[in-house]
């Protein structure tokens, strides 16, 4: 059988499980800035999060709602749109990198770290009025 026209990896999961997996990995990446997972999952997450970041950089209401739908939590979506996306405005693409790290001890799977290319600064916390 040919593979022409089949995009993406299946990961041995049903469609809804696959979508939930990518949504969870993307949310963790936004919350923590860097995550370690298998190489194949990191590559798929990279494809997924690049599209979400592009929507977050536009920042209008429709794209903000699409980012909320693409991530698991609203807090992560707001962090991406309000904190991370403005810091990534200098780039048109290539916002995340995938770096191979080690082989997992249990099954020998190739692990990789996925992280943002630019150094991200934390949001300045508003000081309480005394």
Q: How far apart are CA 107 and CA 117, in angstroms?
A: 29
Residue-wise pLDDT for 90-105, tens only, equals: 999 999 999 999 999 9
* Architecture per CATH, 15-116: Alpha-Beta Complex (3.90)
Residue-wise pLDDT for 67-77, tens only, equals: 999 999 999 99
Give the CA dihedral 85, 96, 25, 44, nearest 10 degrees.
130
Residue ranges covered by each domain of the chain: 15-116
- Tokens found for residue 123: 């949001």
Q: Write down the pLDDT at residue 125.
A: 61
Q: What is the CA radius of gyration of the chain?
A: 16
84, 117 Cβ separation under 8 angstroms? no
Q: How many helices (H) and strands (E) does the chain have?
A: 5, 3
Nearest to 87 by CA among 57, 52, 66, 67: 57
Which pLDDT band holds residue 42 (cuts at 50, 70, 90)?
A: very high
């Amino acid at each position: 059988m040919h593979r022409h026209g089949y995009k993406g990896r299946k990961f041995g999961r049903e469609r809804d499980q696959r979508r939930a997996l990518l949504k969870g990995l993307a949310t963790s990446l936004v919350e923590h800035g860097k995550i370690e997972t298998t190489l194949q999952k990191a590559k798929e997450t990279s494809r997924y999060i690049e599209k979400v970041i592009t929507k977050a950089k536009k920042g209008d209401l429709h794209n903000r709602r699409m980012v909320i739908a693409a991530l698991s939590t609203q807090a992560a979506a707001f962090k991406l749109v309000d904190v991370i996306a403005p810091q990534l405005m200098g780039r048109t693409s290539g916002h995340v990198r995938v770096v191979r790290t080690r082989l997992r001890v249990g099954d020998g799977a190739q692990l990789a770290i996925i992280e943002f290319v630019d150094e991200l600064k934390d949001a300045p916390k508003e000081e309480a009025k005394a």
